[in-house]
Amino acid sequence: LNAIIGFCQLMEDGLPGPINALQARYLSDVLKSARHLLQLINDLLDLSKIAAGKMELRPQSFALAEAIEEVCSGVQPLADVKSIQVTRRLENAPAQAYLDTGRFKQILYNLLSNAIKFTPDRGSVAVEVDRPQAGGFSMSVRDNGIGIAPENMRRLFKEFEQLDNSVTRSHQGTGLGLALTRTLVEMQGGSIRAESEPGGGSTFIVTLPGTQVAAAEVT
Ligand SMILES: Nc1ncnc2c1ncn2[C@@H]1O[C@H](COP(=O)(O)OP(=O)(O)OP(=O)(O)O)[C@@H](O)[C@H]1O
Ligand SMILES: [Mg+2]
């Protein structure tokens, strides 16, 4: 898949030579499917690793705002396609977090890609970090998209659950993102919850510990 994606990108960029409009369209379809398949495989591998008890987290100190910025710019192309604004409010964020950086970014990526996917064109998505009294930090991802019906809220974090199962379903995906996200949050001592209203947008709030530096890192 990495070869397929890499060489398709080279051709799309016209490096081996010029391509016509139809070829460009096919290449873009191949790229989209390949990226989607890669995502699916990675999610399945992660879930299998967790089920086998082999998921290892490597916590370290990292600059929290910087990591969030990186993920936000990563999803910007997805948002651009739908003219969605992704805003951030990070002024209350602790300077450093102590977590598995890659897994932290994966959590945010999953929530942001959902927010963008389930929000119509010209909508808005916002990331906000706060420091609750209880310690640690909270990170919320809010959208003003299609929202979630109350009776569906409990299905959200289950594997392979997608709320809209209609044949005409217009959103891509497998229903693994939130199940994986919840496990990654809980494995790091955090929790995740959702607030939503049909048609009124959704907010996913992750609370994580991990502003303290573990003893191991001090030595
Ligand atoms: N921000 C949101 N607004 C409205 N519905 C949402 C939102 N996030 C998730 N959902 C609903 O919850 C379901 C499960 O989300 P999840 O991320 O697990 O799966 P997915 O995005 O459909 O597929 P995948 O993440 O595997 O690509 C979605 O299919 C959608 O119905
Ligand atoms: Mg998803």
User: Tens digits of per-residue pLDDT, 168-206?
Assistant: 567 778 899 999 999 999 999 999 999 999 999 999 999
DSSP 8-state class, residue 155: G
Task: Give me the pLDDT at residue 216, please.
Answer: 47
Task: Give me the pLDDT at residue 166, please.
Answer: 66
What is the Cα–Cα distance from 67 to 38, expressed in whole angstroms? 23
Helix, strand, coil fractions of the chain, as percent rounded to 5: 45, 20, 35
Residue ranges in the chain assigned as alpha helix (H): 2-12, 21-51, 64-81, 101-117, 177-187, 215-218
What is the Cα–Cα distance from 96 to 173, expressed in whole angstroms? 33
| pLDDT band, very low/low/confident/very high, at 219 (cuts 50, 70, 90) | very low
CA of 179 to the centre of ligand 2 (A): 9
Q: Is the CB of 116 under 6 A from ligand 1?
A: no
Q: What pTM was computed for the model?
A: 0.89
Q: Write the pLDDT tens digit of every residue in 37-62.
A: 999 999 999 999 999 999 999 999 99
Please name the residues in contact with 130: beta carbons below 8 A apart, sequence gap of 6 or more: 92, 137, 138, 140
φ/ψ bin of 148: left (φ > 0), alpha (ψ from -120 to 50), beta (otherwise): beta
Q: Write the pLDDT tens digit of every residue in 91-147.
A: 999 999 999 999 999 999 999 999 999 999 999 999 999 998 888 999 999 999 999
Q: Which residue has the tokens 């999610």?
A: 43
Which ligand 1 atom is the nearest neighbour of the CA of 40? 26
Mean pLDDT of 63-76: 96
Answer yes or no: are the C-beta atoms of 103 and 208 closer than 8 Å.
no
Which own/partner contact pairs does 181-185 have at CB distance under 8 Å and 24+ positions apart?
Answer: 181/106, 181/107, 181/110, 181/111, 181/157, 182/157, 183/47, 183/50, 184/103, 184/106, 184/107, 185/107
Mean pLDDT of 197-218: 78
CA distances from 122 to 41, 84, 117 (A): 31, 5, 12
Which residues, listed in sequence order, are joined to residue 138 by a DSSP beta bridge?
130, 207
Rg (CA), the chain: 19
| pLDDT band, very low/low/confident/very high, at 163 (cuts 50, 70, 90) | confident
Instruction: Among 47, 108, 114, say which to mutate for ligand 1: greatest number of ligand atoms within 8 Å of CB.
Output: 114
